Amino acid sequence: MATTISPPRTTTAWPALAVVVACGIAASLQVGKALIAAPMLQADLGLGLGAIGWLAGIFAMLGLAGGLPAGAIITGFGDRRILLLGLCAIVVGSGLGAIASHYGALIASRIIEGLGFLLITVAGPAILNRISPAGRRDLAFALWSCFMPAGMALAMLVGPLFGGWRAIWWSGAIIAGLAILAVLATVPDGQHRSAPPAQRLAQDVLAVLTTGGPALLALCFALYSLMFFALFSFLPVLLMQRMGLSFGTAGILSALASASNIIGNLAAGFLLSRGAGRTVLIAGASLVMGIAAPCVFLQIFSDAPTLLLCILFSAVGGMIPAVLLSSAPIVAPVAPLAPIVVGLTMQGSSLGQVAGPIAVGGLIDAYGWQAAGLLVIAAAVAAIAVALALGRVYRLAARSSSRS
């Protein structure tokens, strides 16, 4: 198994790395803007919560269907080109959404944006793997894993400052346009290859699916996302019902708890760079999430400790995506197939994003908040089991690397 990708790295990689992470944040802003603009969309277009839910959830649906194909495309067309294509799609989609006069047009624009988001989230790690300075790849992936909580929190905090949802959409297009210029100026292009035939792409995908390690990464990311979105999809409602908070206060506290995920992202990079075991980090974080979430759902403690548990759940859990994404080059059957592994891993993330809120919502309606806690416990136990299985994959990769 390959553990590295060979293109040269230079001391100029850090500005490019920062730009790639900024592209991820620009993409995640497009996810968060639909949530924060919900009251504006209700007032202007008369949309119900179900319709707004589709505007927010369509990104996860596209990721669930397209993560693996997106990774395969990158292997043939180049990571920088796909990153630029994704940013262009966001510019077009967000611009069309800003002038949409009815729900159908807005949904169509969100599909274009969602495709752009998908391409960026798969191309970004591929570029980082190629340009990261030697010995700093884990830190680079830790920074990259911050893009979703950072963008979501930024959208929640800045969104209310705009006068209407159309202004938010226009700002999304402008930010993505600026990101295109930054990529052109700082991110080096990789080695150009002719696009492989469809048969070759199918063989590459099959190689990734049958290796074992990539599927475990995707399953672990699915379990993490299920746990995370099981809590955070309903956290504002939980805070309002259990603590009697206003909508605005619950939203701010939820954004704060979500943003604390960045602490775990960065901590994982720091710990991995100092030799911490990947299995230990994944299993330990899963254990903390599996203990903290039921305490929140059942409100075993008073208000302040419950909120601190939400922050702990998010902060410690943030180590998992950083470890999993940085593991893609390690478990790839050969180095050039790492983008396909990332695509498969992101499909797992999307599966959790879709399944978590649906499962928890149904359990809460049928059996109450305590049932949601049981679901998170089960997912945490499963994640620990997957982490142990990944440990064997990591050991085999280490032996293969030492012999080569």
The CA distance from 286 to 279, in Å, is 11
Residue tagged 């999430």 (tokens): 289
Q: How many domains is the chain built from?
A: 1
Minimal CA–CA distance to 22: which of 243, 138, 175? 175
Q: What is the pLDDT of residue 372?
A: 85
Residue of 398 and 99 predicted with greater confidence: 99
- Mean pLDDT lowest among 2-16, 62-76, 165-179: 2-16
CB-based contacts of 182, cutoff 8 Å, min separation 6: 19, 22, 23
How would you class 192 by CB atoms within 10 Å of its CB: exposed for 0-12, middle for 13-18, buried for 19 or more? exposed
Q: Is residue 3 pLDDT above 60, yes or no?
A: no
**Band of residue 264 on the pLDDT scale cut at 50, 70, 90:** very high
Q: What is the pLDDT of residue 263?
A: 94
Residue of 194 and 318 predicted with greater confidence: 318
Residue of 130 and 290 predicted with greater confidence: 290
Evaluate whether residue 3 is within a structural domain. no
Residue of 270 and 356 predicted with greater confidence: 270
- Tell me the mean pLDDT in the region 58-67: 86
Q: Is residue 33 pLDDT above 90, yes or no?
A: no
Evaluate whether residue 2 is within a structural domain. no
Compute CA distances 214 → 210, 282, 312, 347, whole Å: 9, 15, 28, 11
Evaluate whether residue 6 is within a structural domain. no
Evaluate whether residue 218 is within a structural domain. yes
Q: Which domain holds residue 379?
A: 13-403
How does pLDDT run across 67-82, given as a tens digit for each residue?
888 888 887 788 999 9
User: Token digits for 146?
Assistant: 């911050």
Evaluate whether residue 130 is within a structural domain. yes
Here the contacts of 193-201 (C-beta below 8 Å, separation 24 or greater) are: 193/76, 193/78, 195/76, 195/77, 196/75, 196/76, 201/72, 201/73, 201/75, 201/76
Evaluate whether residue 122 is within a structural domain. yes
Residue of 329 and 1 predicted with greater confidence: 329
Tally of CB atoms within 10 A around 300: 12
Evaluate whether residue 180 is within a structural domain. yes
The CA distance from 359 to 293, in Å, is 15
- The region, left, alpha or beta by phi > 0 then psi within -120 to 50, assigned to residue 196 is beta
- Tell me the mean pLDDT in the region 159-185: 92
Average pLDDT of the chain is 86
Supply angle C-alpha 37, 230, 47, rounded to 5: 30
Domain harbouring 341, CATH code:
1.20.1250.20
- Tell me the mean pLDDT in the region 356-374: 81
Q: What is the pLDDT of residue 363?
A: 82
Q: Is residue 1 pLDDT above 70, yes or no?
A: no
Q: Is residue 254 pLDDT above 90, yes or no?
A: no
**Band of residue 173 on the pLDDT scale cut at 50, 70, 90:** very high
Q: What is the 3-state secondary structure (H, E, C) of the chain?
A: CCCCCCCCCCCCHHHHHHHHHHHHHHHHHHHHHHHHCHHHHHHHHCCCHHHHHHHHHHHHHHHHHHHHHHHHHHHHHCHHHHHHHHHHHHHHHHHHHHCCCCHHHHHHHHHHHHHHHHHHHHHHHHHHHHHCCCCCHHHHHHHHCCHHHHHHHHHHHHHHHCCCHHHHHHHHHHHHHHHHHHHHHHCCCCCCCCCCCHHHHHHHHHHHHHHCHHHHHHHHHHHHHHHHHHHHCCHHHHHHHHHCCCHHHHHHHHHHHHHCHHHHHHHHHHHHHCCCCHHHHHHHHHHHHHHHHHHHHHCCCCHHHHHHHHHHHHHHHCHHHHHHHHCHHHHCCCHHHHHHHHHHHHHHHHHHHHHHHHHHHHHHHHHCHHHHHHHHHHHHHHHHHHHHHHHHHHHHHHHHHHHC
pTM for this entry: 0.84
